[in-house]
C-alpha cells in the first residue's frame, strides 16, 4: 500500500516562502516519478511540478522561477520549495505518484498566501 503524507503548509505573506514535504512509503521511491498538484477553491486540480527518477523537472508556467521541486531518495521524500509566494498560490497542495497502474494521492496540505 502506497502512502503519501504531505506537510509544511500554512500561512505566508505575499513574497514569502514555504517548503512542502511529502514522505512516501510502500513503493520503490528511487524509480518513481513524483508530482505536486494544487487545487484552489472553485477550480480544478492542476499540476504544479514533477520530478522523474533522473532528477529532470517540469513546472507549470505560473510557478517557473519561483518554485523548486526536489527529491531525497535516502529519505523517500519529495519537496516543493515555494518562493515569492502570491495570493494566487493559495490552494490545497497534493503529492502524487503513479505506481503499478494506480494513481496515489496524499490528503493534501493547505497553503494560504495573504497579508
- Tell me, what's the pLDDT at 60? 98
pLDDT of the residue at 21: 98
- pLDDT at site 11: 98
**Cα distance between residue 86 and residue 73, in whole Å:** 30
Q: pLDDT tens for the chain, 115 residues: list them.
A: 999 999 999 999 999 999 999 999 999 999 999 999 999 999 999 999 999 999 999 999 999 999 999 999 999 999 999 999 999 999 999 999 999 999 999 999 999 999 9
pLDDT of residue 91: 98
Q: In a 3-state reduction of DSSP, which class is residue 45? A: coil
Residues 48, 32: Cα–Cα separation, whole Å:
17
Please give the pLDDT value at position 2: 96
Phi first, then psi: what are they for 12, rounded to 5°? -135, 150
What pLDDT is stored for residue 38 in this prediction? 98
Distance of CA 113 to the CA centre of its chain: 16
**Which pLDDT score, from 0 to 100, does residue 12 have?**
98
Amino acid at each position: 500500500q502506497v502512502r503519501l503524507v504531505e506537510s509544511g503548509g500554512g500561512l505566508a505573506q505575499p513574497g514569502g516562502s514555504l517548503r512542502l514535504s511529502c514522505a512516501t512509503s510502500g513503493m520503490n521511491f528511487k524509480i518513481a516519478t513524483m508530482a505536486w498538484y494544487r487545487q484552489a477553491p472553485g477550480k480544478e486540480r492542476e499540476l504544479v511540478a514533477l520530478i522523474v527518477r533522473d532528477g529532470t523537472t517540469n513546472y507549470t508556467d505560473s510557478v517557473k522561477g519561483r518554485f523548486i521541486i526536489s527529491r531525497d531518495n535516502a529519505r523517500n521524500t519529495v519537496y516543493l520549495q515555494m518562493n515569492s509566494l502570491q495570493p494566487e498560490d493559495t490552494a490545497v497542495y497534493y503529492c502524487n505518484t503513479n505506481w503499478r497502474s494506480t494513481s496515489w494521492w496524499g490528503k493534501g496540505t493547505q497553503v494560504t498566501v495573504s497579508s
